[in-house]
Structure formats: C-alpha cells, structure tokens
Structure 1
Amino acid sequence: MNVDDVRLSFDSGSLLVLNVVLAAIMLGIALDTSVDDFRRALRAPKAMAVGIAAQFLALPAVTWLLTLLLDPAPSIALGMILVACCPPGNISNVLTHRAGGDVALSVSMTAVSNVFAIVLMPLNFAFWGSRSDDTRALLRSVELDGLGMVVQIALIIGLPFVLGIWAAQKAPGFASRAQPWVKNGSLLALLAFIVAGLAGNFADFLDYIGLVLLAVFLHDAIALGLGYLCGWASGLPEYSRRAVSFEVGIRNAGLGLGLVMTFFDGLGGMGIVAGWWGIWDIVAGLLLATVWSRRTATRKVTA
C-alpha cells in the first residue's frame, strides 16, 4: 500500500487529550512570558526580525525546495511543509539555555512567533502546500477546512496564551510556581502521546519509517543550520545566533500532528513525519546544545 493511502488511527478521545496537552504547552510558555518580553523584543528589533523572517519566510521556502530535491510521496512532502509552518515549542528555550545562548531573546521570540503563527501558519501551509502539482492535488482530495484550521490554532495557541499572560500579570507568585510543572509536565505528556501514537500504529510506522528517516534528518539539520546562517548573515553575535538557530530548528510538531489527525484523517506520510520529527528534533537539539555548551558564546559581533 502506498503511504499516501495509509491512515493512522487515533480515536476522538485521543485527539481531545492531544489538544489539551498542546494547549498546556502554550500555557506553560505564557506563564513564563510577561509584557516585558514583548518590550524586550521591541528593543532588539533586528534579532527579532531575523528570527521571525527565518521561521515564517525562509524555512517554508527552503522546505519546499527540499521536497523537490528529495521527491518524496506527496503526503510526506505535505508533512514536511506542515512542520516547517508550525511555531517553535518551549523546548527551544531550554536548549538555548543549555547551549549558552541568549535565553531572553529565545523566550521573547517564542512568544512573538506563536502569536504570529495563529495567522501565518495556515496561510503559509496553504501557499507552499499548493506549489507542487502532487501536494496540491492531495490538498484538494481532503477538502481542507482552512477556517476550521485557523479556529483550532487560535484555540490551542491563542486562548491559553492569553490566559497564561493574564495569570502571570495578576498572580505572578502562582504563575512562577506553576510554570515549571505545566511546562515540563506538558512536554513529557506530549512525548508520551507521540510514542504511544506511533506504537499504536507500529506496523505502519515500521513499513514507512525508512521513507521518512532521511527526510526528517535532513529537514531538521537544515532548519537548525538555516537559523544559525540567518543570524550570521545579518551580523548577530554568536550568543544570539544560537537562540535563533533553536527557534527556527525546533518546531511544535505536536501541533502539526494534531492538525493531521483533525483535518487530514491521519494521512500516513504527514502523521509519520510529524510524529518522528517531534522525537528527533529534541534529540538533535540536545546534541547540538551539548556541543555548543563547551564553548562560550561571544555576546558582541567580532570582526
């Protein structure tokens, strides 16, 4: 059977759990976000602009070119594009800290990027997903509900984000105590969900993972490298480049997986790409952060 004909099975209860976990991840980000983070972003407009442009302009475009080069099955190509259009997850902040990068920039960029993603993610996906004949035909075959996707993204990202920032402003003590539990608990719950989901569809995963391994490995490496390259090309110091690298390279693939299950009926290649990316980008990010942690990052641009 072609991977484009495979449908991963997740019941409605599992989808509800996944959406709650994704909302909790956003709540964890918001509880650690303040109005000062947005003010900080305004005080460093160059670094913020580089990171946002790399995420929402460069990465989807480069991903589309990569799908042309690898020529995978259309559902795999769509999965790669969907992941590239996802916002960063809060693991990027942890990895930036471990790598000795600019954590303040990372946190503020994660916050701003997730706000932008409510509108830019569905627009980006619709645009780049329709650039190739095969993926455009696949999009038409599933009759994508664009408005429904925007509403779901707003509920998963926007609502918990607003509630989290409100709680952080009104009850900072409670927010600071709750934030580590919410952030770490939701991340562990997401990893457990992805592992359980892949295990529940293990036969399909084993049958087609060979088609996905190379694509995800290259895609993730390119995403991390693209963030660093954009920081270097724009003259950011090493300290900031590391933050931008993780903001671009670490995507909230769990959100992508939820959208695949909701709007694409668990379309095989898309689901396997999103599920495997959610595991692999943490592994790759930890390896890179460990390497960088052995060398202190310069905080000023050197000639």
Structure 2
Amino acid sequence: MNIDDVILNFTPGSLIALNIVLGLIMFGIALDTSPSDFKAVARAPKAMIIALLAQIVLLPAVTFGLTLLLNVQGSIALGMILVACCPPGNISQVLTYRARGNVALSVSMTAVANVIYIFLLPLSLAFWGSLHPTASELVRAVSLDGWQMLLDIFLIIGLPFLAGLGIRALWPRFAARVQPYARWVSLIGLVGFIVAALAGNWAIFMAYIGIVLLAVFLHDAVALGLGYVSARVGGLDVRDRKAITFEVGIRNAGLGLGLVFSFFGGLGGMAIVAGWWGIWDIIAGLTLATLWARRTRRADAAAARSSGPGAPGDPAAASGVAS
C-alpha cells in the first residue's frame, strides 16, 4: 500500500492527552520566562534576528529542497515540511545548558519564537505545502482551514503560555518551584506518548520506517547544521552558536503530530515522520550536546593548565611570588 494512503490508528482520547502534554510543555516554558527575557532581545536583537531568519525562512526552504532531492512521497514530504514549520521545542534549553551554551539566549529565543509561531505556522505550512508538486495534492484534499488551525494552535500552546506568564508574574516563587517538574513531566509524557503511538501502529511503522529513517536523519542533521552555520556566518560567539544550533534544530514535533491527527486524519507518512522526528531529534540533540560539552571541558582544562602557576602569563610567576 502507498504510504500516502495509510491512516494510523488514533483515538480521540489520545489526541486530548497529547494536547494536554503539549499545553504543559508551553506552560513550563512560560514559567521560566520573564519580561526581562523579551527586553534582552530588544537590547541585543542580532542573535534573535539570525535565529528567526534561520527558522522561519531558511529551514522551510531548505526542507522543501531536501524533499525534492530525496524524491519522497507526498505525505512524507508534507510531514517534513510540517516539522520545519513547527516552533522550537523546549528541550532546546536543556540541550543548550548541557552543551554549555548561552541558556539565557535560548530561553529568550524559545519564548519569542513560540509567540510568533502561533500565527506563522498555519501560513508557512499552507505556503510551502501548496508549492510542493506532490504534497500540494494532500493539502488541497483536506481543505486546510488556516483559521481553525490558528485557533487550535492558540489553545494548545498560546493559552498555556499566557497562563504560565501570568503565574510567573504573580507568584514567582511558586513558578520557580513548579517549573522543573512541569518541564520534565511534560517531556517524559511527550516521549512516552510518541513511543505509545508508534507501538500502537507498529506494523505500519516497520513497513515504512526504511523510507522515513533516512529522510528524518538527513532532515534533522540539516536543521542542526543550518542553525550552527547561520550563527557562525552572523559572527556570533561560541555560546550563542550553540544556543542557535539547538533553537533551529530542535522542533516541536509533538505539536506537528497533534496537527496531523487533527487536520490530516492521521495520514501515515506525516504521522510517522513527526513521530520518529520527536524521538530522533532528542537522541541527536543529546549526542551533539554531550560531545560539545566534552570538547568545552577539554578546552577549559587545557586553558587552565596553560595559565597555571609558573606558566607564561601567570600573575604569580610574573611578579616573582613563590607558589
């Protein structure tokens, strides 16, 4: 059977559970967001502009070209485009911290980008999807309702985000205590949900994973690489480059999966791409963050040895003070 004709099994109750998990993710992000995060962007907008251009313009455009290069089927192409049009995921902050990047910048970028994507996602998906030679047929077949998608996205990510901001403003101590639990519970819940969804459709997943595996692997690598290259070309320092790499490379595939079932009837290629992306994105991100952290520790250790007692440039050695 053509993957464009495959429909995954998914109950309405499961969709409600997914939306709750996604809302909790946004609630957790908002609990860790303060007005100073938005002010910081206004004071030093260069990094934010680079990150937004990479996400909003470059990533969907490069994804579009990648689907043509790989010559994947329509539903897989549309799934890749959907993921590229999704907002950044909150695990980008965790990965930035692990990689010893600029966490404050990561928090600011995620907060600003998620607000923008409430309005941008439906427009971007409709634009790129309608241009694609095979995916456009699927977009027309479902008669994509942009206003309904906008409303759903607002209810899923916008409303919880506003609620979290309000709680952070009114009860900052309570928000600080709750935020770590909200972040990790929502992340574990999302991973568990994706695993359960794939397990419930295991036969379909195994039948088509060979096609999707390469597409998602390349797509994820391109997204992470695009973030890094954009930041490097923009002249940003290493810590900012790490933050932007994960901001662009880590997408909220869980939201994409929810939209697949809400607006595309659980279309096989789209659902498998979004589901597998949600798992692989975490694996690839953790691997990169760990390697980056090890490299930074080695560099710091080397710098400490070179500036140790008696080394050139050591203040004690220069002043003749005995160690």
On whether the aligned pair clears a TM of 0.5, the verdict is yes
C-alpha distance in 2, partners of 1:252/1:139? 21
TM-score by length of 2: 0.91
Structure 2 partner of 1:271: 271
1:157 paired residue number: 157
TM-score in terms of structure 1 length:
0.97
Equivalences for residues 151-190 of structure 1 within 5 A? 151-190=151-190
Q: CA deviation at 1:41?
A: 1.1
Please report how far the alpha carbon of residue 22 of structure 1 lies from its aligned counterpart in structure 2 after TM superposition.
0.3
Superposed CA offset, 1:48-92 (max 9, x none):
100011111110000000001001010000000000000011100
How far apart are the structure 1 equivalents of 2:115 and 2:165? 12
Q: Structure 2 CA distance, aligned partners of 1:147 and 1:210?
A: 35
Whole-angstrom CA distance in 2 between matches of 1:203 and 1:296 = 43
- Structure 1 position 220, deviation (Å): 0.2
Equivalent residue runs for 1:17-96 within 5 Å: 17-96=17-96
Deviations 1:94-134 (A, max 9, x none): 00000011000000000000000011111111111111221
- 1:259-287 Cα shifts (integer Å, max 9, x gaps): 00000000000000000000000000000
Q: Offset of 1:238 from its aligned partner?
A: 1.0
Indicate the residue corresponding to 1:215 in structure 2: 215
* Structure 1: runs of 5 or more not aligned: 299-303
1:123 lines up with 2:119 in the alignment: no
Q: Which amino acid aligns with 1:30?
A: A
Task: Kindly report which structure 2 residues correspond to 1:135-150, keeping only aligned pairs within 5 A, or say none.
Answer: 135-150=135-150
Task: Let me know the Cα RMSD of the aligned residues.
Answer: 1.0
Whole-angstrom CA distance in 2 between matches of 1:39 and 1:121: 24
- Partner Cα separation in structure 1 for residue 249 and residue 85 of structure 2: 11
Q: Which position in structure 2 is the counterpart of 1:197?
A: 197
1:87 is paired with a residue whose SS is: coil
Q: CA deviation at 1:171?
A: 0.2
Corresponding residue number in structure 2 for 1:100: 100
Equivalent-residue separation in structure 1 for 2:123 and 2:239 (angstroms):
32
The one-letter code sitting in structure 1 at the alignment partner of 2:194 is I
Residue aligning to 2:2: 2
Question: Which one-letter code corresponds to 2:161 in the other structure?
Answer: F
CA distance in 1, matches of 2:27, 2:74: 34
CA distance in 1, matches of 2:201, 2:31: 34
Supply the distance in 2 between the matched residues of 1:190 and 1:271 (Cα, whole angstroms): 14
Structure 2: distance between partners of 1:88 and 1:164:
17
Equivalent AA in structure 2 for residue 32 of structure 1: D
**Alpha-carbon distance in structure 1 between the residues aligned to 2:191 and 2:22:** 11
Q: Secondary structure at the match of 1:295?
A: helix
Q: Partner letter of residue 28 of structure 1?
A: G
- In the TM superposition, residue 253 of structure 1 has moved relative to its aligned partner by 0.1
The Cα shift of 1:295 comes to 2.7
Q: Runs of 5+ in structure 2 lacking a partner?
A: 300-323
Q: Distance in 2 between matches of 1:138 and 1:17?
A: 26
Shift of 1:237: 0.7
Identity of aligned residues (%): 63
* 2:257 aligned with 1:257: yes
Distance 2:96 2:204 in 1: 34
* Displacement of 1:138: 1.2
Bigger Rg, structure 1 or 2: 2
Whichever residue aligns with residue 27 of structure 1, its letter is F
